[in-house]
Copies of this chain bind each other. A is one copy, B any other.
Amino acid sequence: MIIVGGPASNNIDLEIARIMNIPQITLEYKTFPDGESYIRYPVEKVKLSKETVVIVQSLYPPQDKHFLELLLAISTAKDLGAEEVVAVVPYLAYARQDKRFRAGEAISVNVILKSIEFAGADRFITIDIHKEESLKVLSIPYKNLTAMKELAKYLAERNYENPVILAPDRGAISLAKDIANILNTEYDYIIKVRDKITGEVRAEAKTLDIKDKTVIIVDDIISTGGTMALAARCSLASGAKTVVAVCTHALLVGNALDRLRESGVSDIIATNSVPSPVSKVSVASVVAEYLQSII
């Protein structure tokens, strides 16, 4: 097994190789003056022939460029004789366009996943995909890993006072549950409530009393920060003492960080599936552990 770092591996490949104590190479890459991407395997350093080649390439922005680089890397590994190509995509872009919200729309995540398969991937690994069912479109073996254990470990070391875990909506409840189980705390999800008198929409924990608690809000993705900021604001309005925002994939589009801080979030914690100022937890050990199990 050889670990290959793509242009958007965010050094996760290096850490995986170190943990597993196996060879690693970094793809050469550049962008031509007209914007075309280029990748090359440093074949003078390593032979791929008959090897299991694990390509680590996340799909954070610019996601279309990173997607094409991934297709190039997979296809070329096969050309160079790799026996099995494993695509490790810590953050899978387009995972939220997982159905036709309106007739006529593209189901983009299907196109991304099938293209990766058609390019020659024999196995697909991602982390905390928006909806696990999306992976069913693949005909190759796949695995959706979770970073919740690693995030929980990081949270445990912080020793927050009276922590409770909230998902900002019902879709993320399994993430909240995972962390709550490890921290041995209560968990809940946030529902939107329309005030019968003022008509104002508020968000609050469905059943849990969060007064004076440290509310840890967990989601798969923080993009513009809107969902998380609303959840934080409402948690504080309901008497939470402190709000901590946790996610796997911190896209942090535009002024998302400012937005979160202004909403009263005191700490933001994410993984390195997307490079960001709050990427404090590595997903490498989770991937390494899984790769070890399939060798």
Contacts and interface: CB of A to CB of B under 8 A. Distances in A.
Interface in A183-232: 223-224
A33 B224 contact: yes
A41 interface: yes
Interface string A73-87: 101100110000000
A149 B44 CA distance: 46
Nearest to A39: B106
A39 B110 CA distance: 14
Number of copies: 2
Interface in A253-293: 253-254
Contacts of A67: 64, 68
Contact of A72 (B41, B72, B76, B108): B108
Interface in A36-92: 36-44, 61-65, 67-68, 71-73, 75-76, 79-80
A241 interface: no
Contacts of A115: 71, 115, 118-119
Contact of A36 (B36, B93, B102): B93
A111 B33 contact: no
A157 interface: no
Contacts of A93: 36
B38 A106 contact: yes
Contacts of A172: none
A44 B103 CA distance: 9
A104 B53 CA distance: 14
Contacts of A254: 33
Interface of A: 28, 33-44, 61-65, 67-68, 71-73, 75-76, 79-80, 93-94, 96-97, 102-108, 110-111, 114-115, 118-119, 223-224, 251, 253-254
